Chains A and B, each alone.
Chain A
Amino acid sequence: MRRCLYAALALLATLSVSPAEQAIVPPFERESWPVAPTLIDTHVLAALKARGIEPAHPCSDAVFARRVYLDVIGTLPGPAELRAFLGDARPGKRAALIDALLEREEFADYWVMKWCDLLRVKAEFPIKLWPNAAQAYHHWIRESIRLNKPYDTFVRELLTSSGSNFRVAPVNFYRAMPSRAPEGIARTVALTFMGARLEKWPADRQAEMSKFFSLVGFKATSEWKEEIVFFDVIRARTQPAATNWPATFPDGSPVKADPGRDGRQVFADWLVKADNPWFARNIVNRTWSWFLGRGIIHEPDDIRPDNPPSNPALLAYLEREFVASGYNQKHIFRLILNSRTYQLSSIPGSNAPPDAAGFAYYPRRRLDAEVLIDALCQVTGTTESYVSPIPEPFTYIPPEHRSVALPDGSITSSFLDLFGRPARDTGLESERNNSITAAQRLHLLNSGHIQYKIENGPALQSLLKARQRPADVASELYLAILSRYPTAGELKTMDAYAQSGAASGREAAVDLAWALINSDEFLYRH
């Protein structure tokens, strides 16, 4: 009863506010679209129309630049790059920027971090890959992403590799699992590559899927912490029952494989087929959620029949494109990033809640912990130091190394922990927590750590020293911190602050930098 009432109220709210009444907000929005609509937009708009929800306005060029830098390479645009982009009058400049960012070195750093969360890359317990194996694994994932390895090849290598954890890096996939029992392996494989929670399946289907992983062997060598992952041929020969593959795959199609073959390969052959109902769906749905804040199926790693997609046509379209492109991840990135849907303003055009809004605006999200500290370092010209004292030998990370590119999730950092870095224990998307807390605000508003960066950071210092006119200082700070020029109103506020006597000269400029760093506009992707 109450639910009906809420639904009715929500509907009323969405009908009563239309963008026709809602004026554009200049620094964040623009009147007209600089890009053409795509098929993604057709699907999204059709769903919005059916629900009577108005999409937000187009985002401004400055907002687009900041957004696409943060989303694609996890890095703020530098003031020079930004000036060039904003001053560029060519109509195709947004697409050109997307293409350029997809080829940057930072692209690999940022997306490796994402994959290391999902694949649980960390040296210490409970996963215990150990530092050199974690480094090898991180390097292998980075090379795969840098070279844009086709996704089916990437997954097949993770699933079927055999050898030493130091020399054949992808075998660490099996070592970084919470459980090495066949059911445990099956659970991790289903979660990672099918976006499915095996524990929600009927028991007999769980048991069938586990059988493909019943002969994965692990053995130590005489080298410290080396471990070989292999298909246990001896057990396959001596225990023929262990290679009696189940009659059907998880989708019900029949298994036709020689007994005695490596079950991991039998499973991988089935998984990466074009018509597999989970494989492409899982990755395009996750990709969508990485850019648009929610999966078309949500949670993005909880695909099951009773959790249907909010926009089935859109999901099916992305799946077709992915398979037709030869499992090219960057193709899907390009499709999404070039759509008007992705380039909507973050100021909603209606009051519909996010789960009902159908991607009618770009969702604001607090910066990832690593991205945030890198942004603070970039703006102020400072560095962080990371050490992993356990286990020996100590790992010292060079100061210029960015936090996004840390290879090992168990490197201790109270800042990263405070801002929701995942522990990399479960591989769940929800393990990363980007909600904002009072403790985080305390740290940013008032800690010695951040205070030191703002007061003493060489990049801010030289910016303040090189310019005399307060308006010039303000413009430079806005470009560096918020990736846009200040509005006339903001310049006036700043002038008034400098005149008020609350702080003068350099102090006033420091306070301005402090305020911009503490604004929602800096702390969020928007």
Chain B
Amino acid sequence: MSEQAMTKNTDLERWTARMITRRQVLKAGLFGAAGLLLCDRLLPRVLAGTANGPAVRPAKARAVIQVWLWGGPPHLDTFDPKPDAGEAYSGPFKHPIATNVDGIRICELLPLLAKQADKYSLIRSMTHGNNGHETAAYMVQTGWPSGGRVVHPTLGAVVSLFKGYDAGYKGLIPPYVVLTQPQGRFSEAGFLPSRYKPFATGGDPAARRFAVEGIVAPGISDERQKSRQALLGNLNTLRSVSNDAEAAASVKAEKEAYDLILGDAGKAFDLAQESDEVRTRYGRSTFGASCLVARRLVERGVPYITINSGGWDTHKENFQAMRRMLPQLDMGLASLLEDLSQLGLLDSTVVWCGGEFGRTPRVDVAPPWNGGRGHYGKVFSALVAGGGFKGGRVVGASDARGEEVKERPVYPCDLLASIYELLGIDPAASLSHPEGYAVPLTPSAQDGAQVGGRLTEIM
């Protein structure tokens, strides 16, 4: 941006302009230069917190692992068992097991997580009341009620704004990674520029070779990769006669891409570097291997990783599905918590596990459901650990049948504001919409949101 252009701008725009210059100076890695040529109006501008907003404490967390159980996991069959409600509710899982924390019991199919309960807290009173997948997923991950004309960014995109290249992150691996498939529009950046969207790895981390889209090409050896690179260099005729800014940008982007393809950074995705014992402990499933990759990414400083785990929309034969999926969840998540703790990374890494809603507490026994559960946004559970969240606690409660919130309703914005606070991001801060107005990070009652307050009891 020329100095002349800057003099025409308002103070705020000048602030942004400084941000860009700083970023240029930092020579940020992989995706950093993506938006340099964007008009300054499209850049998000971070305003100071409002006068009445609470002061933000220094960051405890520097990374988040979001274990997203897409489809809606049944709260009664995971973290909020109700054996006393009878078989019509509990189904065949009538014997929840004790954990290593007195008084906390979870589903009998989660024995490994039971041994890690001192590391996490369970929220048993999550609620928003919406039973549509897309809308509920939007509400849970942005904290905002749906239906407004503004599309808000998700937690991951906000973290990628505040903790990514703009904040000095220098890794070659993008700051917001999703394993393995994106969620579609609800993992999107909302009104933030598209460079805050997640990088979706594709491929299967449980495969012999994890083919990370763009980083590890299936069937292309490193030698062929290098000879191709040389061939491209020799045949890039137009580039060889151009030396302007556009050519320089192209050279820079290509160099960064090759650093990741041929360099060591991409080894974060190479699970062959882990021992057989470790890989088996996480489980050889896609979910287990994703947890292991997530751990490796956090070790390398990546600030936000989503593990997008599908298959939880169990309208039919819920219990057969749980017998198949819960052991995978148990092995992967328990090993992740255990390893993060042993590596000393749990204190600085928030682990959040949950879906867009829970499932109907009363089992649909009749065909075609054959023991299924429907969507249930009125009450559901979430697990949080690390990064400043205390372990071994339970927040809120559902009623005897898990049908209503009995105490301490926790709305999506409460959970998100708590995570923002732990990351040192002021939940009362504002982002600038491309059209120039300020949009708060988290909604208030005036925005039509229900607010129960941050999770101070476990922070």
Once the chains are docked, how many angstroms separate the CA of A353 from the CA of B244? 8
Once the chains are docked, how many angstroms separate the CA of A438 from the CA of B36? 13
Which of A365, A430, A451, A497 is the one whose CB lies under 8 Å from B42?
A430
Which of B4, B246, B260 is the one whose CB lies under 8 Å from A442?
B260
Q: Which residues of B contact A448 (CB under 8 A)?
A: 202-203, 211, 213, 217-218
Give the segment of B19-27, B81-89, B228-236, B419-427 that binds chain A.
B228-236
Taking each of B191, B223, B254, which has the highest tally of chain A beta carbons within 10 Å of its own beta carbon?
Answer: B254
Look across to chain B and name the residue whose beta carbon is closest to the beta carbon of A177.
B149
B256 adjacent to A126 (CB under 8 Å): no
Q: Is B451 an interface residue (CB 8 A)?
A: no
Given A442-B214, A500-B227, CB of A428 within 8 Å of CB of B39:
yes
A464-518 with Cβ < 8 A to chain B = 487, 490, 493-494, 497, 500, 502-503, 507, 511-512, 514-516, 518
- Closest chain B CB from A110 CB (angstroms): 22
Q: Which residues of A contact B218 (CB under 8 A)?
A: 448, 451
Give the segment of B58-66, B193-201, B362-370, B379-387 that binds chain A.
B193-201
A109-127 with Cβ < 8 A to chain B = 124-127
Given A446-B214, A448-B211, A519-B239, CB of A439 within 8 Å of CB of B30:
yes
Which of B174, B223, B247 is the one whose CB lies under 8 Å from A502?
B223
A347 adjacent to B242 (CB under 8 Å): yes
A347 adjacent to B214 (CB under 8 Å): no
Given A412-B184, A437-B31, A448-B202, CB of A126 within 8 Å of CB of B149:
yes
Look across to chain A and name the residue whose beta carbon is closest to the beta carbon of B149.
A126
B184 adjacent to A433 (CB under 8 Å): no
Per the CB 8 Å criterion, the residue count for chain A at the interface is: 74
Once the chains are docked, how many angstroms separate the CA of A209 from the CA of B219? 62
Taking each of A348, A443, A448, A490, which has the highest tally of chain B beta carbons within 10 Å of its own beta carbon?
Answer: A448
Q: Which residues of A contact B38 (CB under 8 A)?
A: 430, 433, 435
Q: Is B220 an interface residue (CB 8 A)?
A: yes
A414 adjacent to B200 (CB under 8 Å): yes
Taking each of B30, B211, B244, which has the highest tally of chain A beta carbons within 10 Å of its own beta carbon?
Answer: B244
A178 adjacent to B34 (CB under 8 Å): no
Q: Which residues of B contact A503 (CB under 8 A)?
A: 224, 227
Q: Is A3 an interface residue (CB 8 A)?
A: yes
Q: Produce 1/0 per residue, A419-462, CB < 8 A to B.
A: 01001011010110101111111110111110100000000000
Q: Is A364 an interface residue (CB 8 A)?
A: yes
- Closest chain A CB from B35 CB (angstroms): 7
Once the chains are docked, how many angstroms separate the CA of A526 from the CA of B237? 12
Which of A124, A199, A500, A515 is the one whose CB lies under 8 Å from B436?
A199
Q: Is B47 an interface residue (CB 8 A)?
A: no
A437 adjacent to B253 (CB under 8 Å): yes
Q: Is B445 an interface residue (CB 8 A)?
A: no
Given A430-B41, A441-B253, A515-B228, CB of A447 within 8 Å of CB of B241:
no
A490 adjacent to B235 (CB under 8 Å): yes
Q: Which residues of A contact B247 (CB under 8 A)?
A: 364, 520
A524 adjacent to B238 (CB under 8 Å): yes
Taking each of A353, A436, A497, which has the highest tally of chain B beta carbons within 10 Å of its own beta carbon?
Answer: A436
Given A426-B435, A515-B231, CB of A433 within 8 Å of CB of B35:
yes
Once the chains are docked, how many angstroms separate the CA of A354 from the CA of B220? 40
Q: Is A25 an interface residue (CB 8 A)?
A: yes
Q: Is B455 an interface residue (CB 8 A)?
A: no
Look across to chain B and name the residue whose beta carbon is closest to the beta carbon of A490.
B235
Q: Produce 1/0 per residue, B128-162, CB < 8 A to A.
A: 00000010000000000001111100000000000
Per the CB 8 Å criterion, the residue count for chain B at the interface is: 76
Which of A353, A418, A515 is the one whose CB lies under 8 Å from B235?
A515
Q: Is B207 an interface residue (CB 8 A)?
A: no
Q: Produce 1/0 per residue, A23-59, CB < 8 A to B.
A: 0010110000000000000000000000000000000
Q: Is A306 an interface residue (CB 8 A)?
A: yes
Which of B150, B195, B228, B239 is the one whose CB lies under 8 Å from A126?
B150
Q: Is B33 an interface residue (CB 8 A)?
A: yes
Given A390-B134, A428-B39, CB of A446 within 8 Å of CB of B239:
no
Q: Is B249 an interface residue (CB 8 A)?
A: yes
A445 adjacent to B237 (CB under 8 Å): no
Q: Which residues of A contact B326 (CB under 8 A)?
A: none
Given A433-B194, A447-B217, A512-B231, CB of A440 within 8 Å of CB of B253:
yes
Q: Which residues of B contact A363 (CB under 8 A)?
A: 246
Q: Is A208 an interface residue (CB 8 A)?
A: no
A436 adjacent to B238 (CB under 8 Å): no
Q: Is A251 an interface residue (CB 8 A)?
A: no
Taking each of A346, A354, A426, which has the highest tally of chain B beta carbons within 10 Å of its own beta carbon?
Answer: A426
Q: Is A417 an interface residue (CB 8 A)?
A: yes
Q: Which residues of B contact A390 (CB under 8 A)?
A: 134, 185
Q: Is A521 an interface residue (CB 8 A)?
A: yes
Q: Which residues of B contact A157 (CB under 8 A)?
A: none
Q: Produce 1/0 per residue, A113-157, CB < 8 A to B.
A: 000000000001111100000000000000000000000000000
Q: Produce 1/0 per residue, A356-396, CB < 8 A to B.
A: 00000001110000000000000000000000011000000
Q: Is A226 an interface residue (CB 8 A)?
A: no
Taking each of B30, B203, B242, B436, which has the highest tally of chain A beta carbons within 10 Å of its own beta carbon?
Answer: B242
B30 adjacent to A438 (CB under 8 Å): yes
Q: Which residues of A contact B435 (CB under 8 A)?
A: 178, 426
B184 adjacent to A299 (CB under 8 Å): no
Given A3-B3, A520-B238, A520-B239, CB of A449 within 8 Å of CB of B42:
no
Q: Is B112 an interface residue (CB 8 A)?
A: no
**Which residues of B line the A interface, CB within 8 A?**
2-4, 8, 29-31, 33-39, 41-42, 134, 147-151, 174, 182, 184-185, 191, 193-195, 197, 199-200, 202-203, 211, 213-220, 223-225, 227-228, 231-232, 234-239, 241-242, 244-247, 249-250, 252-254, 256-258, 260-261, 434-436
- 8 A-B pairs with C-beta separation under 8 A: A364-B247, A423-B191, A435-B38, A436-B249, A436-B253, A442-B257, A446-B214, A446-B257
User: Told that A425-B191, A435-B35 touch, could you supply 10 new A-B pairs with CB distance under 8 A?
Assistant: A28-B241, A126-B151, A199-B436, A438-B31, A439-B31, A448-B217, A494-B235, A511-B228, A520-B250, A521-B237
Q: Would you list the 9 A-B pairs with minimal beta carbon distance, nearest first?
A: A430-B39, A442-B214, A502-B227, A438-B256, A441-B257, A435-B37, A126-B149, A437-B34, A521-B238
